[in-house]
Amino acid sequence: MLALVFRGPMDLVWEDVPTPDIVGPRDALVRPLAVARCDLDPAIALGLYPMPAPFVMGHEMVGEIVAVGDDAGRWRPGDRVIVPFQLSCMACDPCRSGRSNACVEVPSGTAFGLGPHGGIDLGGALAGLVRVPWADVMLLSLPDGIDPAVAAGIPDNVSDGYRCVASPLAEHPGAAVLVVGGLAPSVGLYALMSAMALGSEHVVYVDDDQGRLDVAASLGAEVVDAGGRWDDLRLDRRFPIVVDANVLDAGRNLALRSVAACGVCTSVSGGAGPTATLPLQQMYLKGVRYEIGRVHACSTAPAVLDLVANGRIDPARIIDRVVPFSDAADAMVEPATKVVFVNDLD
Ligand SMILES: [Zn+2]
Ligand SMILES: [Zn+2]
């Protein structure tokens, strides 16, 4: 089958790769229908986030089941499903406690479209087929009436934005939220949308990209144009809940100095390099709770799907372009907040 293989920076090629098959009784074979570009994908494709090549790209997907094992639960060929990008058994202690990315049954980081981990290569979604292990517990049903292209981001970036604000807003209902946008462009805007859907009284969005600022304003946020002044920018208030979707040090430091006493700041990235400097003394004195780590995709996606199905989050509001798979190699590195690829393979 054809698949879009990352061969190195600026080197994405559609190639013939082995077609997956049912291996275990709980497997499903899924034909990807729509694949959203993750905020990390352009950085991988450009070589800004070094990853060992080769591997098949694409990990935010909605697809159609084409075959199932003998024990794959309720799924049948023709069912449309949302596929969480991380592999999780949903039965071990971390999975059962909502920390599904820490599943003890697979090597850390095992996911679609992000290369092999610990000898497990799940392939990627920009392909004719993917094999989904533990399909009975991994997959979510795509409700009728939701466009696969709109839902494709739910299992990763939409969930990533949601988790930054969901627990803090449950602790502090109605609290004001600050989102610092930037190199995780869609995650920041999904955090903003989630904060509004979950009842934040006031959402402020800081960025220096005019397109994203316009989207944030259209969604109802108060926007602040950082205008390249990240190091000097001081907001006129502090926030009990802050989201750092900026990725760079200056954006993260703005996020951290804007947290109110005993507030929480969540970073959706480990930064642009292996180490970063944190203002730990300020954080200590203010009692900042700093959350950092990958989203728990399987644990989080069901609640996000409910919000989308109920119309309280509309991921389509930030999708710039929907393009066929055959244009994915070029579109992977285009400047855009969110691109979705739809399957035009035979
Ligand atoms: Zn991702
Ligand atoms: Zn597990």
Cα 298 to averaged position of ligand 2 atoms, centre (Å): 10
Q: Where are the beta strands (DSSP E) in 229-296?
A: 239-244, 259-267, 289-292
The predicted pLDDT at position 277 comes to 85
Parallel/antiparallel/unpaired status of strands 55-56 and 28-36: unpaired
Cα 234 to averaged position of ligand 1 atoms, centre (Å): 31
Number of residues that this document lists for the chain: 346
The predicted pLDDT at position 80 comes to 98
Q: Which ligand is nearest to the CA of 104?
A: 2
CB 288 within 8 A of CB 303: no
- DSSP assignment of 51-76 equals -PSPEE---EEEEEEEEE-TT-TT--
pLDDT in tens, the chain (346 residues): 999 999 999 999 999 999 999 999 999 999 999 999 999 999 999 999 999 999 999 999 999 999 999 999 999 999 999 999 999 999 999 999 999 999 999 999 999 999 998 888 999 999 999 999 999 999 999 999 999 999 999 999 999 999 999 999 999 999 999 999 999 999 999 999 999 999 999 999 999 999 999 999 999 999 999 998 999 999 999 999 999 999 999 999 999 999 999 999 999 999 888 888 899 999 999 999 999 999 999 999 999 999 999 999 999 999 999 999 999 999 999 999 999 999 999 7
The predicted pLDDT at position 166 comes to 98
Cα 94 to averaged position of ligand 2 atoms, centre (Å): 6
The predicted pLDDT at position 215 comes to 98
How many other CB atoms are found less than 10 A from the CB of residue 191?
Answer: 34
The predicted pLDDT at position 118 comes to 86
CA distance 160 to 177: 16
Cα 10-47-181 angle, rounded to 5 deg: 115
Sign of CA dihedral 313, 314, 319, 324: positive
pTM of the model: 0.97
CA distance 194 to 168: 12
Q: Which ligand is nearest to the CA of 93?
A: 2
Cα 27 to averaged position of ligand 2 atoms, centre (Å): 16
Delineate the domains of the chain, giving CATH numbers in brackets.
2-152+314-342 (3.90.180.10), 156-292 (3.40.50.720)
Cα 108 to averaged position of ligand 1 atoms, centre (Å): 15
CA distance 122 to 130: 7
Question: 291 - beta bridge partners?
Answer: 266
CA distance 240 to 142: 34
Q: Which ligand is nearest to the CA of 89?
A: 2
The predicted pLDDT at position 275 comes to 87
Q: What is the dihedral of CA 192, 153, 314, 203, to 10 degrees?
A: 0
